Amino acid sequence: MARDAPADCAPEDWFCEEAPSAPPELPPSPAEAGQPNGNQPAAPTPPPPGMLPENEIHLTPPMSEQGMDDEEEVVLSPWSVNLRLQGIALEASPHHRNTGLGGLGASLRYALLPSVALDLGFDAFGGSDYNGYDRSETSLSLSALLYLNPQRVVRTYLLGGLNASAAHVDAAGDEQDWTYVGAQAGLGLDFVVSQRVSLNVDMLGFIRGRTDSRAAGEPEFNDGHGNLSNTSGGGLFRGGVSLYW
């Protein structure tokens, strides 16, 4: 059976072969599709379905792990409150060896300059005094702190100021109220934990005199050799935390 001749075949030709059809196009190779110049790297293969991360968690290490050391600058708010535990070491009486007081305290602080701060403090103590009397005592103080290295994480400071206190004393069964006025000075270290928190320890020496109406007729101290005095002193040891806002 004769086949219809192609449209481009002459009538006088008995046999006219069909023009060869073009070979089927093959998909481009990965190198040709992703690397037109042969120099670009192939695109990374995406992970299988179900392996794509849904949420990212970013962890920020604490300042101690970020290289925060004694040479870094610290930026703190001028306002802070200091909360502390403290103890008073007193001279031991020949007749009463177990002397000393302990207590709590709090201060409101404001930094006038990075190196200078004012401290308005309130403290409460309880224990046994030089004469072996049980006493409770409260104190109000106004001090200035001078930071020797205010831009450091570990800051050294000097402290000095005035104080006034009132004590309720059980003098061998006779309940009395005594008042004092004095001064204190000392030094300490402040360890900055963050821009909101620092830890501190300090040591102060104080001296004071009794000022109540009974002081002149009934001096507080008698060494048994006729030496009478209303002036006393001691050491104050404190450890606390400062909160900035």
All structural domains of the chain with their residue ranges: 72-218+229-244
Comparing C-alpha atoms, which of 89, 102, 98 is closest to residue 133?
A: 98
Comparing C-alpha atoms, which of 222, 221, 243 is closest to residue 231?
A: 221
Q: What is the model's pLDDT at position 81? A: 98
Q: What is the model's pLDDT at position 62? A: 44
Comparing C-alpha atoms, which of 108, 119, 208 is closest to residue 163?
A: 208
CA dihedral 140, 101, 234, 188 (to 10 degrees): -70
Q: 140 with 125: CB under 8 angstroms?
A: no
In this prediction the pTM is 0.67
Q: What is the model's pLDDT at position 53? A: 46
Q: 212 with 203: CB under 8 angstroms?
A: no
* Residue linked to tokens 């670009």: 40
Question: Which fold would CATH assign to domain 72-218+229-244?
Answer: Porin (2.40.160)
Token pair recorded at residue 25? 């196009």
* Residue linked to tokens 């005094």: 129
Q: What is the model's pLDDT at position 58? A: 32
Q: What is the model's pLDDT at position 60? A: 33
Instruction: Return the amino acid letter for 104.
Output: L
Per-residue pLDDT of the chain (245 residues; tens, 9 = 90+): 455 555 555 555 555 555 555 556 666 655 555 555 555 555 556 555 554 444 433 333 344 444 444 455 567 899 999 999 999 887 666 666 677 889 999 999 999 998 999 999 999 999 988 888 899 999 999 999 999 998 889 999 999 999 999 999 998 888 999 999 999 999 999 999 988 999 999 999 999 999 999 888 888 887 767 778 889 888 999 999 999 99
What does residue 108 show for φ and ψ, rounded to 5 degrees?
-100, 125
Q: What is the model's pLDDT at position 30? A: 53
